[in-house]
A and B are shown apart, each in its own frame.
Chain A
Amino acid sequence: MLDPMMEQLLPGFVDECKEIVERVTDHLIELEKAHERLRFDDLARGLHTLKGSAATLGLAELSELAHRMEDAVLPLRGKTTALPGALTDALLKTLDTWMAHLRATTAKSELPDLKPSHKLLEAVRHAVQAVEPGKPAANNGKAGAEKRKPSAAAEKEKEKEKKSSKREREAPVARAEPAPAEPAAEEDAGAAEEAGSWRVRTREVVSLLHEVERLREVRLRLEERRRELERGISQLARLGILAQTAEVRALLMGVQRALSADGDEAGDIVASMEDELKAICTLPVRTVLEPLRRSVRDLCKQSGKLARLSIVGGEVSLDRRVLESLRGPLVHLVRNAVDHGLEVPDVREARGKHREGIVVVRVEQQGNMLFIEVSDDGNGLDLALIKQAARELSIVPGVELDAMAPAQLHQLIFRNGFSTRRTVTEVSGRGVGMDVVRSQIQALQGHIEVQSTPGQGTRFTLTLPAELGSSPVLVVRCGEHELGIPMPAVETSLLARSGELRVARTRVQLSHRDHLIPVQDLGTLLALRQPEVPHDGQPLLVLQSQGRRIALAVDEVIGDRELVIRPLPPEVRDLAAYQGAATLARGELVLIVRSDWLTGVERREANLTGTRRALVVDDSLTARALHRTALESAGWSVHTASSGRQALEQLRHSAYDVMVSDIGMDEMDGYQLTVQARARPELEAMPIILVSARDSESDQQRGAASGADGFLSKKDCAAGRLIAEVQTVIARRKGAA
Chain B
Amino acid sequence: MKLEPRFPDDVSQEDRELLERRAARLREKPRESEEESVLWAAEFPVGEDSYALPLDTLRAAVPLKMVTPVPLSPPHVIGILRFQGQILTAMSLSSLLGGRGWREDPAVLLVVDPGLGGRLLALDCERIPKPVPLPHALVEEALARATGAVAEVTLPGLHQVNLLDLRRLMDRRASEKRDA
Sample (12) of A-B pairs whose CB atoms are under 8 Å apart: A213-B84, A526-B71, A572-B73, A575-B70, A591-B70, A621-B78, A622-B78, A626-B94, A693-B104, A714-B103, A716-B101, A718-B99
A625 at the interface (CB under 8 A from B): yes
Q: In the complex, are the beta carbons of A568 and B79 less than 8 A apart?
A: no
Is B80 touching A693 in the complex (CB atoms < 8 A)?
no
B119 close to A (CB within 8 Å): yes
Q: Is the CB of B106 within 8 A of A629?
A: no
Task: Give Cα A526 to B71, complex, Å.
Answer: 6
- Find the A residue at minimum CB distance from B124: A622
Interface string of B40-79 (1 = CB under 8 A from A): 0000000110000000000000001111111111011111
B-chain residues with CB within 8 Å of residue A721 when the two chains form the complex: 101
Contacts of B104 in A (CB 8 A): 693, 714
Answer whether residue B100 sits at the interface, using C-beta atoms and an 8 A cutoff. yes
Stretch at the interface among B3-11, B85-93, B159-167: B85-93
Q: Which of B90, B92, B102, B106 is close to A715, meaning CB atoms less than 8 Å apart?
A: B102
Q: Which of A566, A581, A625, A716 has the most CB of B within 10 A?
A: A625
| CB atoms of B99 and A625 under 8 A apart | no
A718–B69 touching, CB < 8 Å:
no
Interface centre among B47, B81, B82, by most chain A C-beta atoms within 10 angstroms, is B82
List the A residue with the shortest CB-CB distance to B92. A625
Instruction: Give CA–CA (A572, B74) in the complex, Å.
Output: 8
| Cα-based distance from A117 to B30 in the complex (angstroms) | 64
Whether a CB of chain B sits under 8 angstroms from the CB of A144 is no
Distance (Å) between the CB of B47 and the closest chain A CB? 5
Complex interface: chain B residues within 8 A of A623 (CB)? 102, 105
Residue A719 interfacial (CB < 8 Å): yes
The answer for the CA separation of A721 and B99 in the assembled complex, in Å, is: 10
Residue numbers in A under 8 Å from B90 (CB-CB) = 621
Segment of A257-265, A582-590, A729-737 in the binding face: A582-590
Interface residue ranges of A686-732 to B (CB < 8 Å): 693, 713-719, 721
User: Is B37 an interface residue, CB under 8 A from the partner?
Assistant: no
Q: How far is the CB of B12 from chain A (nearest CB, A)?
A: 34
How far, in whole Å, are A384 and B159 apart by their CA atoms in the complex? 70
Where the two chains meet, the residues of A that have a C-beta atom closer than 8 Å to any C-beta of B are: 209-210, 212-214, 216-217, 220, 224, 480-481, 526-528, 566-572, 575, 577-578, 581, 583, 587-591, 618, 620-623, 625-626, 628-630, 632-633, 638, 693, 713-719, 721
Are A717 and B91 within 8 A (Cβ)? no
The interface of chain B, by Cβ under 8 A from chain A, is 47-48, 64-73, 75-92, 94-95, 98-106, 119, 121, 124
Assess A628 versus B75: contact at CB under 8 Å? Given A209-B85, A214-B84, A622-B64: yes
Given the interface pairs A213-B82, A214-B85, A568-B80, the reply to whether A629 lies near B75 with Cβ below 8 Å is: yes
Q: In the complex, A580→B83 CA distance in Å?
A: 16
Q: Which of A578, A587, A621 contacts B64 (CB 8 A)?
A: A621
Chain B minimum-CB-distance residue to A574: B177
Contacts of B87 in A (CB 8 A): 566-569, 581, 589
Complex contacts, A224 vs chain B, CB 8 Å? 65
Q: Is the CB of B89 within 8 A of A213?
A: no
Q: Do B84 and A719 touch across chains, with their CB atoms under 8 A apart?
A: no
Q: Which residues of B contact A693 (CB under 8 A)?
A: 103-105
Given the known interface contacts A527-B71, A569-B119, A719-B99, the answer about A589 and B81 at a Cβ–Cβ threshold of 8 Å is yes
Chain A CB within 10 Å, residue with most, of B73, B80, B87, B99: B99
A581 to B86, CA, bound (A): 11
- Residue of A209, A626, A629, A632 most packed against chain B (CB within 10 A): A626
Bound-state CA distance A603–B74 (Å) is 20
Closest chain B residue to A528, Cβ basis: B71
- Shortest B99–chain A CB gap in Å is 3
Interchain CB contact under 8 A, B47 and A715: yes
Measured in the bound complex, the distance between the Cα atoms of B69 and A717 in whole Å is: 22
Task: Determine the chain B residues whose CB is within 8 A of the CB of A633 once the complex forms.
Answer: 75, 99
Chain A residues, Cβ within 8 Å of B103: 693, 714-715
Q: Which residues of B contact A618 (CB under 8 A)?
A: 105
Distance A575 CA – B70 CA, assembled complex (angstroms): 10
Cα separation A622 to B105 with both chains bound (whole Å)? 7
Residues of B within 8 A of A526 (CB): 71-72
Pick the most buried of B47, B69, B98, B121: most chain A CB atoms within 10 A of its CB. B69
Beyond A572-B89, A626-B92, A693-B103, 11 additional contacts (C-beta under 8 Å) are A220-B66, A224-B65, A481-B69, A571-B91, A587-B82, A621-B90, A622-B64, A623-B105, A626-B94, A693-B105, A719-B98
Partner among B47, B67, B84, B89 whose Cβ is within 8 Å of the Cβ of A569 = B89
Q: Which of B84, B85, B101, B121 touches A717 (beta carbons < 8 Å)?
A: B101
Q: Are B91 and A629 in contact (CB under 8 A)?
A: no
Q: Cβ of B124: which chain A residues have Cβ within 8 Å of it?
A: 622
* Beta-carbon contact of B102 and A621 below 8 Å: no
Q: Are A629 and B84 in contact (CB under 8 A)?
A: no
* Assembly CA distance A196 to B83 (angstroms): 34
Residues on the B chain within 8 Å of A638, using CB: 75
Q: Is the CB of A714 within 8 A of B76?
A: no
Q: Which residues of A contact B89 (CB under 8 A)?
A: 569-572
A224 to B67, CA, bound (A): 14
Distance A577 CA – B101 CA, assembled complex (angstroms): 31
B43 CB to closest chain A CB (Å) equals: 18
**Complex contacts, B69 vs chain A, CB 8 Å:** 480-481, 621
Chain B CB count within 10 A is highest, among A568, A571, A629, for A571
- Cα A620 to Cα B107 in complex, Å, equals 9
Assuming A581-B87, A591-B70, A622-B64, is B76 touching A569 (CB within 8 A)?
A: no
Q: Verify B73–A569 contact, CB threshold 8 A.
A: no
Q: What chain A residues lie within 8 Å of B102 (beta carbons)?
A: 622-623, 626, 714-715, 717
Contact between A588 and B75, CB atoms less than 8 A apart: no
Instruction: Tell me how far the C-beta of B89 lies from the nearest C-beta in chain A, rounded to whole angstroms.
Output: 4
Q: Known: A587-B66, A590-B68, A633-B99. Contact between A625 and B77, CB under 8 A?
A: yes
Set A589, A620, A626: member contacting B99, Cβ < 8 A: A626
Q: Give the distance in Å from the alpha carbon of A578 to the alpha carbon of B94 in the complex.
A: 26
Task: Check A718–B47 contact: CB distance below 8 A.
Answer: yes
| Interchain CA distance A718-B65 in the complex, whole Å | 24
Residues of A contacting B75 in the complex (Cβ-Cβ under 8 angstroms): 625, 628-629, 632-633, 638
Taking a contact as CB atoms closer than 8 A, the residue among A217, A621, A625, A717 that contacts B82 in the complex is A217
In the bound complex, what is the Cα–Cα distance between A567 and B119 (angstroms)? 14
Asked whether A629 lies within 8 Å of B76 as measured between CB atoms, the reply is: yes
A572 to B89, CA, bound (A): 8
Q: A527–B99 Cα gap in the complex (Å)?
A: 22
Distance (Å) between the CB of B70 and the closest chain A CB?
5
A568 CB contacts on chain B under 8 angstroms: 70, 80, 87
Task: Report the Cα distance A577→B68, complex, angstroms.
Answer: 15
Instruction: Give the interface centre of B71, B76, B83 by most chain A CB atoms within 10 Å.
Output: B71
Distance between A584 CB and nearest chain B CB, rounded to angstroms: 10
Q: Are A210 and B84 interface neighbours, CB within 8 A? A: yes
- In the assembled complex, how far is the CB of residue A450 from the closest CB belonging to chain B, in whole angstroms? 27
In this complex, what residue of B is CB-closest to A209? B85
Most buried by A among B64, B66, B67, B103: B66
Residue of B nearest to A212 (CB): B85
Q: Tell me the bound Cα distance from A618 to B81 in angstroms.
A: 20
User: Pick the contact of B106 from A210, A583, A620 — CB < 8 Å?
Assistant: A620
Other-chain contact of B101, A213, A481, A625, A714 (Cβ < 8 Å)? A714
Cβ of A567: which chain B residues have Cβ within 8 Å of it?
87
Docked Cα-Cα span, A626 to B74, in Å, equals 11
* CB–CB B68/A588 < 8 A: yes
Q: Which residues of B contact A628 (CB under 8 A)?
A: 75
A204 to chain B, nearest CB (A): 14
Most chain A beta carbons < 10 A, residue from B76, B85, B90: B85
